[in-house]
Amino acid sequence: MTSLHNRHIKPLILAGLDGKNWHLQDYVARGGYESLKRILSEKIPPEQVIAELKASSLRGRGGAGFPTGLKWSFMPRQFPGQKYLVCNTDEGEPGTFKDRDIIRYNPHALIEGMAIGAYAMGISVGYNYIHGEIFAEYDRFEEAIEEARAAGMLGNNIAGSEFNFQLHAFHGYGAYICGEETALLESLEGKKGQPRFKPPFPASFGLYGKPTTINNTETFAAVPFILAMGGENYAALGKPNNGGTKIFSISGDVERPGNYEIPLGTPFATLLELAGGMRGGKKIKAVIPGGSSAPVIVGDVMMNTDLDYDSIAKAGSMLGSGAVIVMDETRCMVKSLERLSYFYFEESCGQCTPCREGTGWLYRMVHRIEHGQGRPEDLDMLNAIADNIQGKTICALGDAAAMPVRAFVKNFREEFEYHIEHKHCLVPTYM
């Protein structure tokens, strides 16, 4: 476990934001658009920008954790036709709420990051796909785009250079599945938002069948800071292979839920302390460390785990999007899993049988256990259904539905067995 005693917890993307200073002039006063202007005025070769990203060890902040510099290097530079850059602000998983804060409080960091990405990959058109259930943030982002255009930071001849980049906001419809990158592209094209078979991957066959790079909001927003401080310096903020800072959305049974940007590799215990500790001084029971699809971890284990991709994987879960859901001793694990299972059942797009049928089956079984009608063989059956979903579907939603089931049953089996045997909850002060 890394000690933070001598490390400085200093945010980058969320630094100095007060809810009002989101305008372009505020961003510029904080040093904003300097990275983009420097790249363009010094005509820094695109390959050098990508090399800086690789040196930063920035990994995709949307959940998959794929190295961003490597992803950008996949874009065919010499492609003769239109290429696209897409930002995924379709944040809809339970526990996630960081991207909407970025476009609400620091939208120009995202715009600058996308413009730098467009320059590095030779792209002239970009879209930001914003979740359909957030409205004020969509309007805010539209306003920020207008400000950037008026200031010559978007459009033609950006900052007096020969670089052109048109950026548009697109308001989605609120389906969770549209956060899956190929479903997002389908939706952006005006079709039903259902995931595509992969391959081909968006880098070769993306929006309108053209090469497309898709990154998460936080990933793009980190780019100007990386270019300003240098890739190696950014990497040094975190741990090897886990460079830089990350925004963690902590929710659940803590005193001060919210977004906290801290270096990757920070102990979970430090984040919990930043969030004011456990609400009412209760004992920690369980933590879902990376959005609702990440396997649940027993509280005591989590208290000794660092918040980075590799440490969380070692503890048996995923860092995902950094949405940390904390549950105290009064939480019923059967009820919690019932709620999660219902979410995936509700959000399945229905294209593939294991997911369409399996998510409903999982939900109905957990519902049955929760309501005192479970049978002893149900727990093995839950695992068997999860086995028959995971890895057998077009997109990762199937896995996302199966993994929590397995982890809840494995880590809290005695609670499920108690429910089945006694027809009610084991937790004394059930809420």
Residues in touch with ligand SF4 (CB under 6 A): 177, 195, 348-352, 355-356, 393-395, 397-398
CB of 121 to ligand SF4, least distance (A): 28
Tell me the closest approach of the beta carbon of residue 350 to ligand SF4, in angstroms. Answer: 5
Please identify, using beta-carbon distances, which residue of 39 and 355 lies nearer to ligand SF4. 355
φ, ψ for residue 326, nearest 5 deg: -105, 130
How many angstroms from the chain centroid is the CA of residue 397?
14
- Closest approach, Cβ 329 to ligand SF4, in A, equals 34
CA–CA dist 413, 298 (Å, integer)? 12
DSSP 207: G
Smallest separation (angstroms) from ligand SF4 to the CB of 400: 9
Nearer to ligand SF4, 32 or 62 (CB): 62
Nearer to ligand SF4, 7 or 356 (CB): 356
25-58 per-residue burial string, b: 16 or more CB within 10 A, e: under 16:
ebbeebebbebbbebbeeebebeebbebbbbbbb
Of 321, 352, 381, 14, which Cα lies nearest the Cα of 179?
321
CA atoms of 240 and 396, how far apart (whole Å) = 27
How far, in Å, CA of 313 to CA of 33, rounded? 36
Give the distance from CA 388 to its chain's centroid.
26
> Which of residues 222 and 394 has its CB atom nearest to ligand SF4 in the complex?
394
Of 262 and 397, the one with the shorter C-beta distance to ligand SF4 is 397
Buried/exposed 63-87: b ≥16 CB within 10 Å, e otherwise: bebebbbebbbebeeeeeeebbbbb
In the bound state with ligand SF4, the residue whose beta carbon lies nearer, of 177 and 227, is 177
Residue 47: which residues within 8 A CB-CB, separation 6 or more? none
Instruction: Kindly tell me which of 64 and 228 has the beta carbon lying closer to ligand SF4.
Output: 64
User: Minimal distance in Å, beta carbon 216 to ligand SF4?
Assistant: 19
Name the one residue in this structure whose structure tokens are 């100007």: 224
- Shortest approach of ligand SF4 to residue 357 CB, angstroms? 9
The residue number with the shortest CB distance to ligand SF4 is 355
Contact between 63 and 312 (Cβ < 8 Å): no
CB of 391 to ligand SF4, least distance (A): 11
> Considering beta carbons, is residue 77 or 356 the nearer one to ligand SF4?
356
CA distance 417 to 369: 9
CB hemisphere CA count around 27 (13 angstroms): 30
How near is the Cβ of 177 to ligand SF4 at its closest, in Å? 5
Question: What count of residues does the chain have?
Answer: 431
User: Minimal distance in Å, beta carbon 378 to ligand SF4?
Assistant: 23
In sequence order, what are the residues at sequence separation of 6 or more whose Cβ sits closer than 8 angstroms to the Cβ of residue 397? 176, 177, 180, 195, 344, 347, 348, 349, 355
- What's the one-letter identity of residue 68? T
> Which CB sits closer to ligand SF4, 131 or 335?
131
Which CB sits closer to ligand SF4, 68 or 348?
348
Q: What one-character DSSP code corresponds to residue 208?
A: G
In the complex, minimum distance from the CB of residue 393 to ligand SF4, in angstroms, rounded to a whole number: 3
Instruction: Name which of 352 and 409 has its Cβ closer to ligand SF4.
Output: 352
Question: How near is the Cβ of 344 to ligand SF4 at its closest, in Å?
Answer: 8
To 5 degrees, how large is the angle CA 402–CA 311–CA 5?
Answer: 140
